[in-house]
């Protein structure tokens, strides 16, 4: 580049287009240009870019020591916004408003106001009238206005001639010009569009009718042309225009924008640095472009050798081809060749390399417009292009993580910041990325730093809480909703609650019976009939009355049909006050969100809602709250500008507000350090050493965009028009060319459900076909296994690799792991309680998980119920039954039960109460019979025994005495027996606790009779000798010590079913030798895995975690079942019949 004068007054105007195939070369060219022709110190450089990713990359690139060393006094702007500022400076602020009155966000609300009136008053709008019929809530009107505004916004940029014709046309005589400018008739079904444009112009008034982007552009072109003549005569640049304007790395601009930039080039220095994949003219490499080839002025050098061109460039490059053709119409290289020794900066990636990789050869072919050769070329295999097929998105990310670790270990120069990963849909991939890359903390061997771009605020807990609050009119306000809301730190901060306070409040509210609904009136809004008994039962008002009464009087009798809930203490007043503040805020907001309201009123309501429920807990919350409120302010300004006074429903306001919060801006962070994840977006093809493309599935990429049937642009294509599919095709080409060392492409090539083959994106398929046709050693698609722990990853020469060494020992055939090798041997505690042994008998695996590992596994049941009770589940039935059995006054206990909210409302609750009373009385009658023989209630007895090398302690309750001895009673309002009538036996899981206490009492030389009472009968254990009882306890202690070391291969119900099946087989062998008994293992398997209903494994998260199926415990179950439950089975007295009951 020749040196230019340092005096900026000598900057010559011009419209210069500089081409290059590498952004870093274009950046270097820009730096040289800025160095050679600097601006005055206080004059900023203006650089137009199209995305935040390009903005941040260019800022860092310019600030690099090898470039400018600092990026200061530089404005990086979006083209459309900056050009509107230029229009205002050239035409005057009075002639051009600060905001375009026909801009999409303003046009939307003008249409919301106008559409109903226009559709009803003019027959031409009949299609719109039919669509808007039955639009009671206004959502259809809003959606239609949104789509029409989007279409008209595109017309202003790409079809200005249509709008010009329509502005002066008449209904029935409107024109529609084709791509050659030839007029044609506008079809009657679309005549409403021309009329709507005239009506919109009339609505904004004569002062702003020509303030559309198209109209302002026409006036700007005329004005700047006149100023150009004055500039040529006086050499005085028009006021407000920059001396230089740089457009960097933009791969597509509308015709209007290019026209404006070209015209500015008459008075300013306009420099376009364009990434061009090919150094030769390639506008004619697709059949059917003969006319285009004849018209174009060959800006680039023609390809010196004959050929058909590069097939990938022909298939993927339509958008770039059209844009370059558009620029060729304005570029005049002869005007600035005197300033620049070279116009284009092209670098062949395959030159100066003795053995260029496959990726570099492919990029070189595109650069040189090289067609496929007749025979595939010889090539030394490398990994510059890697093609990977997986079964799911999760596996795609897991395989990528392992591949990155491998690359980093082999190449110390490759850093995490040198890797860019792009996906079609970040919302779908973000959870998988966070699950895999976020699993390892800094310092761990498999940690890879990473950053996620394009994550919208809608995914943040704070905005999700805001969306939940905006849905209050359609929310049941359940306890689960409250808990989810207070998981957000900003909400807790607003009400002054800590996480511990929320947990405590949650427990209190659950105990008080809160389920859903603010009060009775709120319940009626959900269809609960007025006058139903207990209408406000389980509402927030119901629970709050119980808590406040409990705070005042403690536990006691009901007062005013309210049962006190003794939970709060004197120091809990601040926590309760916060709860009351939330209820008041919720009630106020619920009333405010009801009904249709004007935009100004909605603005105040929504601002108050944010203030009422949120307070920033940190700087991130502060920024996010500001980002939530900022679109609200912009919306109010747009509504005011559109003169919108139509009352709007909450649904429309909520949908629009949340959508605006989700939109990204130029200020959004892109580079966050480490491996960068981002969305595949136009003009984001930034050079990285490694480019990875994930989610390249058929149907997902190129992305689909449903066409609008009234979008006339879709029926009349012109050069420069944007297409989502063509954008994605060109973006794929740019990504391929931006990879400097490696290109990694993955997709879901097989179904995770049935392993059915699934095709990749058509672009990937074209790439694979091209590589196979062009090179002998083309890379093969690597199909990875379904699971990360597949054996294939640990076999030599399998072609697979993994850094998940935690799975390696599973496939170590030389030393197969023993069941207890996964955890160190630790001696079981010598101090045991009856509760420890009860846990062993009730579910043996829980000893290892709960007691040894201190692990609590969540069950599949919901932690909170969002419905009022309609029936009692098993646990609730047991708890209610025990409360009734222990009550001194059964009718009073039933009354308290109803007032506590545990029973269903109205007649359902009355019926259930009657049923419970009847069942409870049956058990009480059975107990009465025993208490006649053992009338004396005894105090609790302590147990203190030395059993083997363990010290066993505990307490015996429910004891009675008489001259006959001692009695222990356990009772339940439920069954205690199982099996057919003539083969009934005890339910093992019910009586194991009683059995253990019976053993402890007998081992303490207490002659005890133990009875388990139930609805269907009773189970009796007779007194035993102390020696026998102690021997049985020693056996259980040894079993507990074994269960401490590993998950014991036994289960209570399953082991008991096995023993009973063995016993039944023995009886059949004696009584009916000709009858074949059931296989005990088949019986046990049915109990464990379940036959017609869920089995024991499904009931316990611990069993499910330890054993995949019955096969895992089949071998050892007989021994452990005998050890744990064999003595109880032998000591069990046959269930008492009516004639044997005392």
Average pLDDT of adjacent 10-residue blocks, the chain of 1142 residues: 43 87 89 85 88 82 82 87 89 83 90 92 90 87 93 88 88 84 89 93 87 85 87 81 91 88 91 90 56 42 58 89 84 61 76 87 92 86 94 96 94 94 92 93 92 80 94 92 93 94 91 89 86 84 89 82 82 88 95 93 95 93 90 92 92 92 60 84 80 94 84 81 85 93 96 93 95 91 92 84 79 45 66 94 93 76 58 75 82 80 78 86 90 92 91 92 91 89 86 94 93 92 93 94 92 93 86 84 91 83 90 92 93 54 40
Q: What tokens were used for 836?
A: 């420890």
- Count of C-beta atoms within a 10 Å radius of residue 546: 26
Residue with tokens 């493309």: 693
What is the rounded distance in angstroms from the CA atom of residue 685 to the CA atom of residue 247?
A: 16
Quick check: 421 and 675 in contact, CB under 8 A? yes
What is the rounded distance in angstroms from the CA atom of residue 209 to the CA atom of residue 158?
A: 19
CA dihedral 363, 367, 373, 378 (to 10 degrees): -40
Quick check: 966 and 1005 in contact, CB under 8 A? no
> Nearest-CA neighbor of 546 among 519, 565, 569?
565
Instruction: Note the CATH number of domain 381-455+675-705+718-794.
Output: 3.40.50.300
Strand ranges across the sheet with 14-20: 14-20, 269-275, 244-248, 45-48, 74-77
Q: Any idea how long the chain is?
A: 1142
Quick check: 420 and 676 in contact, CB under 8 A? yes
- Count of C-beta atoms within a 10 Å radius of residue 699: 11
Q: What tokens were used for 486?
A: 């207070």
Nearest-5° Cα angle at 247, 244 to 252: 150
SS3 letters across 274-303:
EECCCCECCCCCCCCCHHHHHHCCCCCECC
Residue 150 preceded by cis peptide, ω within 30: no
> What is the SS3 assignment for 545?
helix
User: What top-level class would CATH report for the domain 104-210?
Assistant: mainly alpha
What is the rounded distance in angstroms from the CA atom of residue 107 to the CA atom of residue 96?
A: 16
> Nearest-CA neighbor of 671 among 54, 1121, 40?
54
Sort 75 into a burial class: Cβ within 10 Å, 0-12 / 13-18 / 19+.
Answer: exposed
Q: What tokens were used for 540?
A: 């927030």
> Nearest-CA neighbor of 974 among 1011, 1005, 1018?
1018
Q: What tokens were used for 284?
A: 């004619």
Q: What tokens were used for 433?
A: 């990325």
Instruction: Please tell me the predicted confidence (pLDDT) of residue 785.
Output: 93
Domain ranges of the chain: 104-210, 381-455+675-705+718-794, 458-662, 831-1131
Instruction: Please tell me the predicted confidence (pLDDT) of residue 673.
Output: 78
Instruction: Please tell me the predicted confidence (pLDDT) of residue 339.
Output: 55
Q: What tokens were used for 268?
A: 């300013």
Q: What tokens were used for 333?
A: 């290289």
- Count of C-beta atoms within a 10 Å radius of residue 151: 18
**How would DSSP label each residue in 308-334?**
---HHHHHH-HHHHHHHHHHHTT--GG
Query: What phi, psi does 508 have (nearest 5°)?
Result: -65, -45
Task: Report DSSP state, residue 960.
Answer: E
**How would DSSP label each residue in 333-353?**
GGGTTTT-S-S-B---TTTT-
> Nearest-CA neighbor of 495 among 567, 584, 566?
584
> What is the SS3 assignment for 527?
coil
> Nearest-CA neighbor of 1053 among 883, 843, 858?
843
Quick check: 720 and 322 in contact, CB under 8 A? yes
SS3 letters across 727-782:
HHHHHHHHHHHHEEEEEEEEEECECCCCCCECCECHHHHHHHHHHHHHECCCCCCE
Beta bridge pairs of residue 945: 952
Residue 920 preceded by cis peptide, ω within 30: no
Nearest-5° Cα angle at 157, 665 to 243: 70
| No. of helices (H) and no. of strands (E), the chain | 40, 22
All residues at 6 or more sequence positions from 1011 whose CB lies less than 8 Å from its CB, including other chains: 930, 967, 968, 969, 970, 1018, 1019, 1020, 1021
What is the rounded distance in angstroms from the CA atom of residue 1136 to the CA atom of residue 907?
A: 36
What is the rounded distance in angstroms from the CA atom of residue 281 to the CA atom of residue 822?
A: 66
Query: What phi, psi does 579 have (nearest 5°)?
Result: -65, -45
What is the rounded distance in angstroms from the CA atom of residue 916 to the CA atom of residue 872?
A: 11
Beta bridge pairs of residue 969: 1011
> What's the number of CA atoms in the CB half-sphere (13 Å) around residue 231?
21
- pLDDT tens string 734-751: 999 999 999 999 999 999
What is the rounded distance in angstroms from the CA atom of residue 269 to the CA atom of residue 17?
A: 11
**How would DSSP label each residue in 254-267?**
-HHHHHHHHHHTTT
Phi-psi region of 967 (alpha: psi -120 to 50; beta: other; left: phi over 0): beta
What is the rounded distance in angstroms from the CA atom of residue 905 to the CA atom of residue 911?
A: 10
> What is the SS3 assignment for 390?
strand
Inter-helix orientation angle 213-234/160-168, to 10°: 110
What is the rounded distance in angstroms from the CA atom of residue 801 to the CA atom of residue 790?
A: 11
Residue with tokens 């189970």: 1019
Instruction: Please tell me the predicted confidence (pLDDT) of residue 295.
Output: 40
Instruction: Please tell me the predicted confidence (pLDDT) of residue 816.
Output: 37
Instruction: Please tell me the predicted confidence (pLDDT) of residue 667.
Output: 47
Nearest-5° Cα angle at 895, 889 to 898: 140
- Count of C-beta atoms within a 10 Å radius of residue 573: 11
- pLDDT tens string 342-351: 457 899 998 8
The helix or strand, by DSSP H or E, that contains position 950, with its residue range, turns out to be strand 950-956
Task: Report DSSP state, residue 72.
Answer: -
Task: Report the DSSP pairing between strands 45-48 and 74-77.
Answer: parallel
What is the rounded distance in angstroms from the CA atom of residue 509 to the CA atom of residue 26?
A: 65
Nearest-5° Cα angle at 665, 659 to 668: 115
Rg (CA), the chain: 40
At the fourth CATH level, the homologous superfamily of domain 458-662 is: PCRA; domain 4 (1.10.486.10)
What is the rounded distance in angstroms from the CA atom of residue 1018 to the CA atom of residue 1000?
A: 21
- Count of C-beta atoms within a 10 Å radius of residue 981: 8
Task: Report DSSP state, residue 57.
Answer: H
> What is the SS3 assignment for 363?
helix
SS3 letters across 36-96:
HCCCCCCCCEEEECCCHHHHHHHHHHHHCCCCCCCCCCEEEECHHHHHHHHHHHHHCCCCC
Q: What tokens were used for 949?
A: 């090398």
Quick check: 95 and 207 in contact, CB under 8 A? no
Distance of CA 814 to the CA centre of its chain: 42
């Amino acid at each position: 580049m020749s040196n230019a004068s340092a005096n900026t007054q000598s900057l010559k105007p011009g419209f210069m287009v500089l081409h290059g195939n590498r952004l870093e070369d274009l950046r270097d060219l820009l730096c040289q240009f800025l160095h050679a022709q600097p601006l005055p110190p206080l004059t900023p450089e203006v650089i137009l870019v199209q995305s935040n990713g390009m903005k941040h990359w260019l800022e860092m690139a310019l600030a690099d020591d090898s470039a400018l060393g600092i990026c200061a006094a530089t404005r990086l702007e979006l083209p459309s916004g900056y050009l509107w500022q230029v229009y205002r400076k050239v035409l005057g602020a009075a002639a051009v408003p600060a905001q375009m009155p026909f801009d999409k966000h303003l046009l939307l609300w003008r249409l919301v106001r106008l559409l109903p009136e226009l559709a009803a008053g003019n027959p031409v709008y009949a299609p719109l009238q039919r669509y808007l019929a039955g639009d009671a809530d206004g959502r259809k009107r809003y959606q239609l206005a949104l789509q029409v505004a989007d279409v008209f916004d595109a017309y202003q940029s790409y079809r200005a001639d249509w709008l010009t014709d329509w502005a002066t046309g008449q209904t029935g005589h409107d024109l529609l010009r084709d791509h050659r400018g030839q007029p044609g008739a506008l079809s009657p079904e679309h005549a409403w569009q021309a009329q709507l444009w005239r009506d919109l112009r009339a609505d904004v008034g004569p002062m702003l009718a020509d303030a559309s982007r198209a109209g302002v552009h026409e006036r700007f072109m005329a004005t700047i042309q006149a100023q150009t003549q004055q500039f040529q005569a006086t050499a005085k640049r028009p006021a407000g225009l920059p001396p230089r304007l740089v457009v960097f790395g933009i791969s597509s601009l509308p015709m209007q924008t290019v026209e404006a930039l070209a015209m500015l080039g008459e008075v300013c220095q306009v420099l376009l640095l364009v990434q061009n994949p090919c150094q030769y003219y390639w506008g004619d490499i697709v059949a059917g472009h003969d006319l285009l080839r004849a018209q174009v002025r060959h800006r680039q050098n023609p390809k010196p050798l004959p050929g058909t061109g590069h097939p990938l460039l022909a298939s993927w490059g339509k958008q770039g081809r059209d844009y370059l053709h558009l620029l060729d119409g304005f570029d005049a290289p002869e005007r600035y060749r005197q300033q620049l020794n070279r116009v284009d900066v092209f670098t062949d990636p395959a030159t100066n390399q003795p053995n260029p990789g496959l990726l570099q050869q492919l990029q070189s072919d595109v650069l040189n417009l090289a067609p496929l050769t007749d025979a595939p070329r010889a090539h030394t295999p490398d990994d510059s292009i890697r093609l990977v097929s997986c079964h799911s998105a999760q596996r795609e990310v897991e395989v990528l993580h392992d591949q990155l670790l491998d690359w980093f270990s082999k190449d110390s120069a490759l850093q995490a910041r040198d890797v860019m990963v792009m996906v079609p849909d970040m919302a779908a991939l973000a959870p998988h990325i966070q699950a895999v890359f976020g699993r390892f903390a800094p310092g761990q061997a498999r940690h890879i730093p990473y950053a996620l771009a394009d994550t919208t605020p809608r995914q943040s807990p704070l905005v999700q809480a805001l969306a939940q609050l905006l849905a209050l009119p359609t929310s049941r306000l359940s306890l689960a909703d409250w808990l989810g809301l207070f998981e957000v730190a900003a909400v807790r901060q607003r009400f002054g609650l800590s996480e511990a306070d929320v947990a405590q409040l949650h427990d209190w509210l659950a105990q008080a019976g809160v389920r859903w609904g603010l009060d009775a009136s709120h319940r009626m809004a959900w269809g609960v009939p007025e006058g139903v008994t207990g209408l406000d039962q389980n509402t927030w008002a119901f629970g709050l009355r119980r808590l406040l009464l409990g705070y005042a009087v403690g536990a006691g009798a009901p007062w005013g049909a309210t049962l006190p809930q003794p939970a709060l203490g004197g120091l809990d007043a601040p926590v309760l006050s916060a709860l009351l503040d939330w209820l008041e805020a919720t009630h106020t907001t619920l009333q405010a969100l009801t009904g249709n309201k004007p935009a100004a009123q909605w603005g105040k309501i929504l601002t108050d809602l944010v203030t009422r429920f949120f307070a920033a807990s940190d700087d991130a919350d502060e920024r996010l709250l500001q980002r939530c409120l900022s679109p609200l302010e912009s919306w109010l300004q747009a509504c005011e500008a559109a003169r919108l006074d139509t009352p709007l429903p909450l649904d429309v306001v909520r949908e629009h507000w949340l959508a605006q919060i989700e939109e990204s801006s130029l200020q959004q962070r892109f580079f966050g350090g480490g491996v960068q994840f981002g969305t595949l977006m136009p003009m984001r093809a930034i050079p990285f050493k490694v480019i990875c493309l994930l989610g390249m599935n058929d149907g997902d990429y190129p992305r689909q965009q449903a066409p609008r049937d009234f979008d006339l642009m879709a029926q009349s294509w012109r050069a420069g028009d944007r297409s989502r599919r063509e954008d994605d095709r060109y973006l794929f080409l740019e990504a391929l060319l931006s990879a400097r060392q490696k290109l990694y492409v993955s997709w879901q090539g097989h179904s995770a459900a049935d392993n059915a083959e699934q095709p990749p994106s058509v672009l990937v398929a074209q790439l694979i076909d091209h590589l196979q046709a062009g090179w002998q050693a083309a890379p093969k698609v690597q199909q990875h296994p379904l699971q990360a722990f597949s054996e294939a990853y640990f076999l030599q020469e399998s072609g697979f690799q993994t850094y998940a060494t935690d799975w390696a020992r599973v496939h170590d055939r030389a030393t197969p792991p023993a069941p207890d090798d996964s955890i160190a041997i630790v001696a079981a505690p010598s101090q045991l309680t009856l509760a420890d042994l009860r846990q062993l008998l009730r579910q043996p695996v829980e000893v290892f998980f709960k007691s040894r590992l201190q692990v609590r596994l969540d069950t599949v049941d919901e932690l909170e119920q969002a419905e009022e009770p309609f029936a009692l589940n098993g646990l609730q039935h047991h708890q209610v039954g025990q409360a009734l059995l222990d009550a001194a006054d059964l009718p009073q206990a039933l009354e308290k039960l109803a007032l506590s909210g545990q029973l269903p409302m109205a007649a359902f609750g009355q019926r259930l109460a009657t049923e419970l009373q009847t069942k409870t009385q049956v058990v009480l009658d059975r107990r009465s019979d025993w208490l006649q023989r053992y009338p004396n209630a005894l105090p609790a007895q302590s147990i203190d025994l030395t059993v083997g090398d363990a010290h066993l302690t505990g307490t015996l309750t429910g004891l009675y005495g008489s001259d006959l001895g001692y009695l222990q009673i356990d009772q339940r309002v439920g069954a205690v027996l199982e099996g057919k009538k003539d083969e009934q036996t005890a339910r093992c899981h019910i009586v194991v606790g009683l059995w253990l206490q019976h053993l402890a009492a007998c081992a303490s030389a207490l002659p005890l009779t133990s009875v388990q009472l139930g609805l269907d009968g009773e189970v009796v254990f007779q007194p035993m000798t102390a020696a026998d009882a102690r021997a049985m306890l020693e056996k259980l202690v040894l079993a507990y010590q074994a269960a401490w070391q590993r998950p014991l291969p036994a289960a209570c119900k399953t082991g008991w079913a096995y023993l009973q099946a063995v016993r039944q087989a023995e009886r059949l062998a004696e009584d009916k030798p000709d009858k074949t008994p059931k296989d005990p293992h088949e019986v046990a398997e049915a109990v464990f895995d379940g036959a017609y209903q869920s089995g024991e494994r499904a009931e316990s998260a611990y069993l499910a975690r330890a054993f995949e199926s019955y096969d895992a415990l089949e071998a050892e179950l007989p021994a452990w079942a005998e050890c744990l439950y064999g003595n109880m089975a032998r000591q069990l007295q046959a269930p008492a019949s009516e004639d044997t009951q005392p």
